[in-house]
Amino acid sequence: MNGTKKGRILSGMRPTGRLHIGHLVGVLSNWRKLQDEYECYFEIADWHALTDAYDKTDQLRDNIFNITLDWLATGIDPEKSVLFVQSHVLQHAELHVLFSMLVSLSRLLRVPTFKEKIAELRVSELKHKTKKVLEQSAETAVNSFLEILEQYEQGNLDSASYKAVLKAKLKDAFMESLKDAFTGSEEDLPYGHLVNYGLLGYPILQAADILVYRADHVPIGADQLPHLELTREIARRFNSMYDRVFPIPEPVLTEFPKVPGTDGRKMSKSYGNTIYISDPPNEIEKKIRKAYTDPAKIRKNDPGHPEQCPIFAYHRIFNPDEVPQIEEDCKAGKLGCVACKLNLIKHMNEQLEPIREMRSKYEANPQLVTEILNEGEKKARAEAEATMIKVREAMKLW
Ligand code: SF4
């Protein structure tokens, strides 16, 4: 450990695309501070990105390049921190295999993120199943209807029995096709076919990521504390079973401000409501002009509710000095949304401009970006190998 720093940190991001302003004010600004206080290892977690996108790797290299550009442009400094790609340091995989012996299946099934993911997968499976069942029911009902209509037209049924048979047949057709679809509660639905081992083993790989560098601190939000617990359990278990190799990592509790998307929901690529760090000025303007505001404020004079408005949330980030005045004027009906948005566009672009400039410089020099990652990889691998020598010795693997 570097004597002048408080300890060692491992943190990372999955390379899933360009980063947005939520990342900027949350993780990245925190990392920028941490790198002055701690010895930081920042990992581009490409193996983790594969757990639910193993069949979509075409974009992976571009995503790694883009995330590196975003990190460098926002002040993550390769002179202060180690920036590297997870899959380039094979020691993570070795430690993952060894740790996987120390964790029971039932413990993994209780990991909160796994349970959340299963709930998500069950909902999407149910939606898919429901759609199929309804299509099937509709088809069966139409066929029954045509069959009975034919009999009626041939004079085999009088009007009263035609209606009664039709009603009964249609009901049967629906019930029959729905019968198997919704048995049991959502909790009882099987999910084994929805999950690969990678997803189940995700937290073990995370533990390996942290402990292969003997990191003693991990920056997380309070709601993520249970996720760190498994890593701490694994470290304790290993130390007591073999030898004291690992520190028990402590959380560096961090506030991650919630940044809404342009439609007021959580900012997420899947909702199409993101503002990227790398968006050019005209794109920022387009997105902000189209953004959702308080629906109760139709005219300038209408009193607004800024706390429900994403534009106001962005003012807090990019224009904090004017926030009290904007709040007062919005509530009093003295400020119109168009003027409020134009003011924001100006401040956002002013603050994002140096980041965009820095990003463009690195983007124009991909060789330099590769060198930075190669250099990081060398440092990371040396440290990871030093840990693995201790691990192999402790486990008497040679
Ligand atoms: S004036 Fe500004 S803060 Fe108020 S609702 Fe309009 S955009 Fe939002």
Predicted local confidence at residue 108, as pLDDT: 92
In the numeric block, which tokens belong to residue 100? 């996987």
Mean pLDDT for the stretch of residues 244-265: 92
Which ligand 1 atom sits closest to the C-alpha of 331?
Answer: 4
CA of 278 relative to ligand 1 center, distance in Å: 25
Mutate to test the pocket of ligand 1, among 300, 308, 315, 330 (most ligand atoms within 8 A of CB): 330
- State mean pLDDT over 202-228: 92
Give the strands of the sheet with 217-220, arranged side by side.
Answer: 82-85, 39-44, 8-13, 217-220, 250-253
Write b or e for each residue in 242-260: b if 16 or more Cβ atoms lie within 10 A of its Cβ, otherwise e: beebbbebebbebebeebb
Q: Per CATH, the architecture of 269-363 is what?
A: Orthogonal Bundle (1.10)
334-379 pLDDT per residue, tens: 999 999 999 999 999 999 999 999 999 999 999 999 999 999 999 9
Rounded to the nearest angstrom, the distance between the alpha carbon of 327 and the centre of ligand 1 is 8
Task: Measure 19 CA to ligand 1 centroid, in angstroms.
Answer: 26
Render pLDDT for 138-184 as a digit per residue (tens, 0 to 9). Answer: 787 788 788 878 877 887 777 777 777 778 777 777 776 666 555 55
Averaged over 256-283, what is the pLDDT? Answer: 93
The region of weakest confidence among 71-80, 112-121, 170-179, 307-316 is 170-179
Residue 23: pLDDT above 70? yes
Paired strand residues for 43:
12, 84
Say what the alpha-carbon torsion angle 354, 60, 89, 256 is, to the nearest 10 degrees: 50
* Protein residue with its CA nearest to atom 1 in ligand 1: 337
Residue 383: CB atoms within 10 A of its CB come to 20
The pLDDT-based confidence of 1 (bands split at 50, 70, 90) is: very low
Which of 216, 234, 257, 260 has its CA nearest to residue 96?
234
Residue-level pLDDT at 3: 55
**Which of 47-51, 115-119, 380-384 is the most confident on average?**
380-384
**What pTM, to 2 d.p., does this model score?**
0.83
Q: What is the mean pLDDT of the chain?
A: 90
352: tokens are 């994002």
**Residue 221: band (very low, low, confident or very high) from pLDDT cuts 50, 70, 90:** confident
At residue 124, does pLDDT exceed 60? yes
Residues within 6 Å of ligand 1 by CB: 293-294, 297, 304, 306, 309, 311-312, 326, 330, 335, 337, 340-341
Q: Report percent pLDDT > 70 for the chain.
A: 95
* Per-domain residue ranges of the chain: 8-109+197-257+366-394, 114-194, 269-363
Name the fold adopted by 8-109+197-257+366-394.
Answer: Rossmann fold (3.40.50)
Per residue in 3-13, pLDDT (tens digit) is 578 899 999 99
